[in-house]
Structure 1
Amino acid sequence: MRYWHPMSEAAARKIAAFRPDRIVLLPLYPQFSTTTTASSLAAWRSAAGAVGIAAPTHAVCCYPRAEGLVAAHAALIEPLLAAAAEAGEPRLLFSAHGLPKRVVARGDPYQWQVEETARRIVAGLGREALDWAVCYQSKVGPLAWLEPSIAEEIERAGRDRVPVVVVPVAFVSEHSETLVELDVTYRDHARAVGVPAYHRVPALGTHPSFISALADLSRGAFTASSVSGLDSGEGGRLCPGVHRCCPLAAQ
């Protein structure tokens, strides 16, 4: 892992000892960003080079609308929408880790991919006139970050007196940004501003549909013939051309 054990260097040493014929890199970031996926792949390349790994390597850069990813989210959301409806017509808040606006302005596709994931999930839920929004959390530092923030969306829900169902749309596992930020900090904030009910959808974890999606992506990567050794979960580029930092922009 990039930020916790086993780190890339430790994993590279074990993989070098295993002597694989081929390597697939499958990030657990469904949505690509230069600040996450790209930096993690760079860390792997550095670690692999340091221990002499020369096996052909193929990376999946993103999979923001993989069918299993979308299906898993929808399955986890449905029961909480039903629970929230006991307090009124619920609003679905897709919360993702934020980024400085200047990163996106340089062509990073992360915001577009997060919004694309949310759109696919909403379509998969099949509920007419569903009230939903994308928002961002975990801001640090003085720079302007993506908006609206989850705090702002919770305050809007408080003014509208609608219950909320919060979806960690860019986090696939539980950690401090779900268990503390979403479950404690923003639940308390929702209570303070008069939100009638606050429900948080679990991270995907080991949901069978999500694991099936990862398996499909892995099989596709092992059989890929891409010259670059890189593709999206759909093969070629899926980001609009304005996103110059898409890793498949040159293809």
Structure 2
Amino acid sequence: MSFSMEGKVVAVTGGSKGIGKGIARVFARAGAAVLICSRNLAEGEAAAAELSESCAAKVSAVAADVTSLEDMQAVATCAKERYGGLDVLCANAGGFPQTKIEDLTSEEWDAVMATNLKGSFLAVKACLPLLKLSSQPRVVLTSSITGPITGYPGWSHYGASKAGQLGFMRSAAIELAKYKVTVNSVLPGNIKTEGLVALGQEYLDGMAAAVPLGSIGEVEDIGHACLYFASAAAAYVTGQTIVVDGGQVLPESAEFKSEW
């Protein structure tokens, strides 16, 4: 079964850096035309230029805030005007400010929900008219192990939003099945993004020691899981999740060491 995306158009929200950029890179390498959506147009255009050159693919950027339905509708319009339509929506944009419940404000809670959860809904709603016209329509959400499987101090709002994405996914998968649109989700564990690298090698080594495979995941690892869900190989898969964490959630004890 081929994982080629030749002739397909993919939109990636939050695609200018981190996991989103990794997702965009994997799809560009697979032959897709990729539209990077970013609140910061300069960052989006820089990422698009880099991937266009390194992957020899059609990659461009558009400024959009996933908390705005009008912005997401503009993304859909942009995909149609530049590439003729849209086949795959990777709803990846998200934020994870760390604030413990005692200090968490209603405004910060609402902001995280607006980006991570409402943003997924608005992206799907805006792109659905184009997806319905595709011969291979796919929606892939970037959730997390935090919330659906694990918890972490300071991330109650983040975890709630990521668990909420899976509730949305399951109902959306049923509703959109009549249009042959599949809706699935990838749950990343610890992934080597710019933010993690900035914390230093000692921190990264400590995180890697708690992962059975002994390393922090790369952003492309998430991209490959998204590519599977978007491919013809996953035509009969909807409402499902893939955990990509190197086995991070498996140990029963915090005393686990990777050399075991």
TM-score (norm 1): 0.28
Q: Which has the higher contact order (CA 8 A, sep 6+)?
A: 1
Using structure 2 for the length normalisation, give the TM-score.
0.28
Greater C-alpha Rg: 1
